Structure 1
Amino acid sequence: MLVDTHAHLLPHDYPADAPDCFPRMEPIDGDSARTLLFGAMRFRARDVFFNAERRIEAQDAAGVDLEVLSPMPPLLRYDLPPADGMSLARHVNEFTAALCRTHPHRLVGLGMVPLQDPESAAAELTAIRDQGLRGVEIASNVAGESIGDERFLPLFAEAERLGLAVFVHAMPTATDRLPQSAMGTYVVGLEGALGASSLVAGGTAAKCPELRIAFSHAAGGYPLMLPRAQYFWGGSWNEEPVDLDRAVAPDDGPSPLEFARRFYYDSLVFDHRAIRYLIDLLGADRLLVGSDFPAMPREDPAGRTLRGMHLPEQVLRQITCDNAFTWLGMDPPG
């Protein structure tokens, strides 16, 4: 069985009386696709984004048994006024829940919240749970502010209390240190690393030890930062016994690697050598399959690289199936 934990959707339409800041989906003559209009964004959205039957057909063609659907990241508009952000989130969540109800054994949904208002966002998680959604997608930053800042702690604490999964999607932000062409490549890697490390450095990971949280694209550069952080914490190489005489910044809490091994990471890193590193450093029980479909084409068939790595059958099953159900808080199929 293969579970794709990183797949996106778009609602096929928005209310006619929606605020001007809402997206619009305009029909295309002679085409089942629609054009997403959202500020300066113009995007041709194929019908697989919003049509349940087309999604199932695409799953079958790729060898996917179940998709975890989250809103396409541009919908996470944390720059909107909080009331408008809540209205948009509720519309998207209702659509997601309805889409998933059409094929509950093939489609699982994550909601969204207006994280620009952390208290309201936390309160909305109960409605997300009651709609049958299994968690919430958030961006790796909130209008440029770290998700590890303590003002966002209510969202993570409430997700932990309710047993909801959290999916952190890397969200590029403007930087004058790289050209605009790097937004979808290098900046995504930077954002994943900043999101994950901020939750540890800011104290959220320590305060929410039972939180089930996953990061897109293996949290970017975060896994490569960990050995250095581990050395600063414990003064040793290769996870050898702690040598506090050599430690730069020792403390008596969990080590950086212990915190990192509480998180989940999708394996959308495009190279078997990177996947091998993630398995060796973080553990096979921390990895999930992701594709970014249909915003990006899936590997054909899904999981081809993983299945070509000659992993032990138990390890392959963990990554392609079991870990996803653990992260979502669901019982795996019998």
Structure 2
Amino acid sequence: MLIDAHAHLLPGHYPDHAPECFPSMEAVAGSTDRTLVFGEMRFRAKDVFFTAERRIEAQDASGVDLEVLSPMPPLLKYDLDPADGLALAQHVNDVTAELCGHAPERFAGLGMVPMQDPEAATAELAAIRDRGLAGVEIASNIRGDSIGHERFLGFFQEAERLGLSVFVHAMPSPMSRLPASAMGTYVVGVEGMFAAASMVLGGTAAACPDLRLSFSHAAGGFAMMLPRANYFWGGAWNEGPVDPERAVMPDDGPSPLEIARRFYYDSMVFDHRTIRYLIDLLGADRLLVGSDFPAMLREDPAAKTLRDMDLPAEQWALISSRNALRWLGRD
């Protein structure tokens, strides 16, 4: 079984009397594609973004058994007025639930919430669960604030209480020091790292030990800095015995690596050498298959890099499906 834990959808339509700040989907002459218009953004979306039958055809063609569908990240627009943000989220969540309802054995859906208003976002989580959605997607920062900021703690506690999965998708910050040309490359690595580190350093991960949290693109550069963080915590190289005399920032709580091994990470990192490092450092039981489909083309077949790595059967079973089922709370 192969589960793609990082795939996106777009609604094919928006209400006729939606606020002016809402996105729109404009018809494309002579095509089933539609153009997403959202502020300055113009994105041509193939019908596989919003048509269940086309998605299943694409799954079958690439060897995917189930997709975890989350809103395309530009919809996570946290500069909207909170009331408009909530209305947009509710529409997208209704569309997601409807699409998943066409074939619940092939789709699991994640909703969205207006994180610019943490109280409203927290209150909406119960409605997400009641729609039959598996969890929620959020951006890696909320208008420049890291997700580990204390003002979002109640949101994560409620997601944990309701048993909802949380998918953190790397998104640029308003304070990004990188040029726009880096948005799809370096920004993903930097913002994913900041988001995951903030969950450790801000105490949210410790406060929510049962939270099922996944990061897009393996949380960017997070895994590369974890050994240094572990040294500062415990004073040991190579995850050896704790040496209090060498520890720069001693802490009697769990080590950064121990906390990081509670998270899940999609393995869309484009290189088998990086995947091997992630398996070695974090464990095969922490990785998920991800593709960013249909915003990006899948490998042919899906997860080809993983398939070609000659992983032990147990590791392949974990990464290809079991971890995703556990993250979704379906084990």
* TM-score interval (norm. to shorter): over 0.9
Give 1:155 deviation, angstroms.
1.0
Tell me which amino acid in the other structure corresponds to 1:14. Answer: Y
For the 8 Å contact 2:71–2:137, the answer to whether it is kept is yes
Name the counterpart of 1:74.
74
| Aligned twin of 2:165 | 165
Q: Give the structure 1 partner of residue 307 of structure 2.
A: 307
Structure 2 match to 1:57: 57
Structure 2 distance, partners of 1:130, 1:176, is 36
SS of 2:194's equivalent in the other structure is: helix
Amino acid at match of 2:306: L
1:276 is matched with 276
- In the alignment, what sits opposite 1:19? 19
Letter of the structure 2 residue corresponding to residue 122 of structure 1: T
Rounded Cα–Cα distance in structure 2 between residues aligned with 1:17 and 1:183? 33
What residue number does 2:138 align with?
138
Q: Deviations over 1:93-131 (max 9, x none)?
A: 000000000001001100000011111111111010010
Give secondary structure in 2 for the equivalent of 1:26. strand
Amino acid at match of 1:166: V
The superposition leaves residues 235-275 of structure 1 with CA deviations (integer Å, 9 ceiling, x where unpaired) of: 00111111111111111000000010000000000000000
1:287 to 2:314 alignment = no
- Measure, in 2, the Cα distance between the counterparts of 1:71 and 1:28: 21
Structure 2: gaps spanning 5 or more residues: none
1:94 corresponding residue in structure 2: 94
The answer on whether the counterparts of 2:233 and 2:255 sit within 8 Å (CA) in structure 1 is yes
Counterpart for residue 323 of structure 1: 323
Q: CA deviation at 1:174?
A: 4.3
CA RMSD of aligned residues (A): 0.8
After the TM superposition, which residues 63-212 of structure 1 pair with which residues of structure 2 at under 5 Å, given as runs? 63-175=63-175, 177-212=177-212
* Cα distance per residue 1:9-38 (max 9 Å; x no partner): 000000011000000001111100001000
- Corresponding residue of 1:240: 240
- In the alignment, is the contact (CA less than 8 A) between 2:144 and 2:175 conserved in 1? no
SS at match of 2:32: strand
Question: Take 2:174 and 2:182, find their aligned partners in 1: how far apart are those partners?
Answer: 10
The one-letter amino acid of 1:317's match is A
SS in 2 for 1:210: coil
Match of 2:257 in 1: 257
The answer for the alignment partner of 2:3 in structure 1 is: 3
Instruction: Please state how far the C-alpha of 1:191 moved relative to its aligned partner.
Output: 0.2
| 8 Å CA contact retained: 1:173, 1:183 | no
* One-letter amino acid matched to 1:147: I
Distance (whole Å) between structure 1 residues aligned to residue 180 and residue 44 of structure 2: 21
The AA in structure 2 aligned to 1:216 is S
CA distance 1:42–1:174, change in 2 (3 Å) = same
Counterpart CA distance in 2 for 1:47 and 1:69 is 15
Q: 2:32 aligned with 1:32, yes or no?
A: yes
Cα deviation, residue 173, structure 1? 2.4
Inter-CA distance 292–176: structure 2 relative to 1 (3 Å threshold) = closer
8 Å contact kept, 1:24–1:36? yes
Q: Following the alignment from structure 1 to structure 2, what is the Cα–Cα distance between the partners of residues 316 and 29?
A: 44
Give the whole-Å Cα distance in 1 for the aligned partners of 2:249 and 2:176: 31
Distance across 2 between alignment mates of 1:91 and 1:127? 12
Contact 1:263 / 1:286 at 8 angstroms: preserved in 2?
A: yes
- Contact 1:172–1:184 (CA under 8 A) maintained in structure 2: no
For residues 110-159 of structure 1, what are the alpha-carbon distances to aligned partners after superposition, in whole Å with 9 as ceiling and x for unaligned?
Answer: 00000111111111110100100000000000011111101011110000
Unmatched runs of 5 consecutive residues or more in structure 1: none
Runs of 4 or more, structure 1, over 4 Å off, are none
Shift of 1:175: 4.9
Matched, 1:266 2:266: yes
User: Partners of 2:319 and 2:204 in 1: how far apart?
Assistant: 26
Q: Answer whether contact 1:3 1:289 (CA < 8 A) is retained.
A: yes
* Alpha-carbon shift at residue 231 of structure 1 (Å): 0.3
Asked if the contact 2:166/2:213 (under 8 Å) is kept, the reply is yes
Matched length: 331
